[in-house]
Structure 1
Amino acid sequence: MGGITSLTRMWLTRSVNPFLFRNEWDPQLPFAGCSQLGLYIHIPFCRQICHFCPYCKVLYEKERCERYVDALLEEIDLVGRQAEGKKQVTSLYFGGGTPALVADRLGEILSRTERYFTITQGIGVELHPENVTPPVLEALKEAGVTKLSIGVQSFRPKFQSVLGRSAVDGAELARALAAVPFETVSMDFIFALPGQTFEDLRSDIDAAFALGANHVAIYPFIDFTFTDSRVPAMPNGEKRRLLDRITAYCLGKGYVRTSIWTFSSRKGAVYSSMTRTNFLGFGCSAATLLEEQFKINTFSVEAYCQRLAAGQLPTALTLRFSRRQRMVYYLFWAAYGTRVDPREFEAFFGEKLEKQYGLELKLAQALGYLEVRDGTYVMTPKGAFTYHYYENFYTLSYIDKMWGILRKEAFPGEIRL
């Protein structure tokens, strides 16, 4: 598995050099000139820990959470005041963990953020189904939230049991969403669970749209080595058939495909905290992607708070991109949105996409992975599954290794990927 990702990396970067993450932090972040800049804020607290979840999270304790939010405000100050005037950004997404656990301070966090940034395309928050109640939704809306992502995972009891999740009351969910409407209501589901069929997924998707969602995300189950999950992986052939059928079903219903895993019932209903050209991340484990570097914060809540109490940014690791590495990273996440626009690539890098990767693009078209529509490279269903296949390798070879180390060491010395 690591061999496949290493060979692909060497081919696309035209170099044998790995991605080298070092224990370095910079007091100044060069984001002022970045276009299409997004923001992400991580809230790591949960009432209970889901065994399948790989993200940075800890059990909720009120005093610890309050200290964390205080440190988060300090991080926003340290970064935000580096730019002259207010920097325009596309969006702000809160992830976790369970961001609703800081609902009473969300207005304060947003007020601090908007002191330095002008958000143009909305604010999104991830929610556990149990938090989808009128009081919580009203508090979020009053704070300025415009988009919700609800982590349902499955409405079906047999898969809730597999995932260790409690039943979701669909009627209560629908009542709350109808009482407090939002611009985008997304519901997340996991596919490729053992024994899962097309009918199971179709039922979940139909239920989501019937209950008030206008966007669904259908993420593949990935067995991270550091989680406590014992869910067996679905064979690739079965996974391919399942993804193809659910894609055909959604497109047949007239839904808009907004990324590899996401579909919306109307144009403009979008929820994605990942597909941005540049972004600043705040909070434990949050990543920052800029034109020439990638940074990731410490996963330790205590180390995070201590670092900020000393007036320093909580960066655990920094990757200084070579130009080709940055191109590969750009193309990986552009492809996640199922299309790559050569004009946008040229605007970002000042070079033509076909000059850099013409051979690869021709090969992908010949193999049936891509087709050209109005000057844009668009993924076919075959290409989408191949992307999923490689993303799975990438996740287990790169992300699994990095996150596994960061869960044990607050500030590791160096990681080569």
Structure 2
Amino acid sequence: MSFKTELTRMWFTRSLEPFTFTNEYDNELDYGKAEQLGLYVHIPFCRSICNFCPYCKEIYDENKMSEYIDALIKEIHLVGSRYKEKKTVTSLYFGGGTPALAADRIGDIIGALKEHFVITDGIGLELHPDNVEPQTLRKLKEAGVTRISIGIQSFLEKYGSVLGRKSIDIDAMNRALDEVPFDTVSMDLIFALPGQTIEDLKSDIDKAFETGANHVAVYPFIDFTFTKSPVKAMPKRQKRELMDEMTEYFEEKGFYRSSIWTFSTKEEAKYSSMTRENFLGFGCSATTLLKDSFKVNTFSTKEYCKRITEGKLPTSLTIRFRKRQRMVYYLFWTSYSTRVNIRDFEDFFGVPLKKMYGFEIFMAKLFGYITEENGMLTLTKKGAFYFHYYENYYTLSYIDKMWGLMRKEAFPTGMKL
């Protein structure tokens, strides 16, 4: 673990106690009183494995995927039957892997979820560029999907080859998106690649919107220790310059900024499975965040299916939050949206934000990281970069360590972060 993240954790939690995960698991999840609850479903199968991707995935096999989805639906019923009344949730997102490979059964999964939940704010699903063709898109739309996110990474061939991706048929993609429209069409791009310039990024951004996107996510490349990517991280100063130039370009175009990395043609065009107060996760590697706890499902599809067959939830690691730990988690992921509503924090925790972190807010204003207006704290351009800077440390110190372990062990005995 890096000294910076450890020091930050101790300061904000006011404790030397690390984040401690154990291998106990909840067979019943107390989500009944959770407000602003979201849903996430993980489909881990891919036609091929990208060398830069850190997520839980494996090579597609029709029989394995069928068995997995049967288990997934059973997990949904195990969790959903906890309460007799249907629980209202904000949204549902499918991630992976390549969930569009399960297009024929997405409707079955959504149907199972709707037996227990009322989804009020749309359904999103990730696609590989190869999936963007009319037949697949129609199946997804008929199943209830309203938002899609396409993993472009880069339209430029020089970066496609670096990332192990083949060239994209832009005209075919454009025709398919015209033929089968969605409320949100998001496209994922990557910045901070070797030798990448602002002109390269502008080219990718323009091409995304020309090809049918109304929302773009431009994520930084992060060099996880357990991936096989040959790409090396871009130096800090160069990355900041590139990020600032990218942000200025979006601002010049008049786009709406919905998070650190995401911009859209209008506020209504949104796609984010991350900035939610509470959520339930289904499938291998999926996480569940509630008021007092956070749990992670096993990364092993085999052990996942086995647990479900036994009538047990596939939880691998769980943390019981101390109040300050939960506050740090809340503030970190809420800040990802570039905005923290002071009143929302007090409603969630029952204590004023400035009582808990008044000094930190004062200093952040003093150094030009945030502004405050009408009860809203907003990251400045400088603040957004330094959020990214610490998010990168957090990812490599916490997520890299946890995912690295869980890729090796289906049910570790525990972990301290």
CA contact (8 A) 2:338 2:379 kept: yes
User: Secondary structure of the equivalent of 1:238?
Assistant: helix
Please, which runs of 5 or more residues in structure 2 have no aligned partner? none
The answer for the alignment partner of 1:178 in structure 2 is: 178
Q: Establish whether residue 412 from structure 1 lines up as the match of residue 409 from structure 2.
A: no
Aligned length: 417
CA contact (8 A) 2:133 2:173 kept: yes
| Equivalent residue runs for 1:104-123 within 5 Å | 104-123=104-123
User: Secondary structure of the equivalent of 1:188?
Assistant: strand
CA contact (8 A) 2:147 2:183 kept: yes
Q: Give CA deviations for 1:136-182 in whole Å, capped at 9, x if unaligned.
A: 00000000000000000000000001000000111111000000000
| Equivalent residue runs for 1:291-370 within 5 Å | 291-370=291-370
Q: Give CA deviations for 1:236-290 in whole Å, capped at 9, x if unaligned.
A: 1000000000001101111000000000011210000011000000000000000
User: Secondary structure of the equivalent of 1:407?
Assistant: helix
TM-score of the superposed pair, with normalisation by structure 2: 0.99
User: Secondary structure of the equivalent of 1:351?
Assistant: coil
| Equivalent residue runs for 1:231-310 within 5 Å | 231-310=231-310
* Off by >2 Å, runs of 4+ in structure 1: none
Task: Tell me how far 1:337 sits from its aligned partner.
Answer: 0.2
AA in 1 matched with 2:117 = F
Task: Tell me how far 1:93 sits from its aligned partner.
Answer: 0.1
Task: Tell me how far 1:233 sits from its aligned partner.
Answer: 1.1
The answer for the alignment partner of 2:166 in structure 1 is: 166
AA in 2 matched with 1:78 = L
The answer for the alignment partner of 2:59 in structure 1 is: 59
CA distance in 2 between counterparts of 1:394 and 1:85 reads 38
Q: Give CA deviations for 1:85-132 in whole Å, capped at 9, x if unaligned.
A: 110000000000000111111111110010000000000000000000
CA distance in 1 between counterparts of 2:84 and 2:77 reads 13
Using the TM superposition, name which of 23-32 and 146-155 deviates more. 23-32
Task: Tell me how far 1:83 sits from its aligned partner.
Answer: 1.7
Task: Tell me how far 1:358 sits from its aligned partner.
Answer: 0.2
The answer for the alignment partner of 1:138 in structure 2 is: 138
Q: Give CA deviations for 1:49-74 in whole Å, capped at 9, x if unaligned.
A: 00100000000111111100000001
Task: Tell me how far 1:84 sits from its aligned partner.
Answer: 2.5
CA distance in 1 between counterparts of 2:47 and 2:64 reads 13
The answer for the alignment partner of 1:218 in structure 2 is: 218
TM-score of the superposed pair, with normalisation by structure 1: 0.99
Identity of aligned residues (%): 61
Q: Give CA deviations for 1:320-372 in whole Å, capped at 9, x if unaligned.
A: 00000000000000100001111000110011000000000000000000001
CA distance in 1 between counterparts of 2:2 and 2:73 reads 39
Please, which runs of 5 or more residues in structure 1 have no aligned partner? none
CA distance in 2 between counterparts of 1:127 and 1:103 reads 10
Task: Tell me how far 1:232 sits from its aligned partner.
Answer: 1.2
AA in 2 matched with 1:138 = R
AA in 2 matched with 1:49 = I
Q: Give CA deviations for 1:395-414 in whole Å, capped at 9, x if unaligned.
A: 00000000000000000001
CA distance in 2 between counterparts of 1:408 and 1:83 reads 35
Task: Tell me how far 1:375 sits from its aligned partner.
Answer: 1.8
CA contact (8 A) 2:258 2:267 kept: no
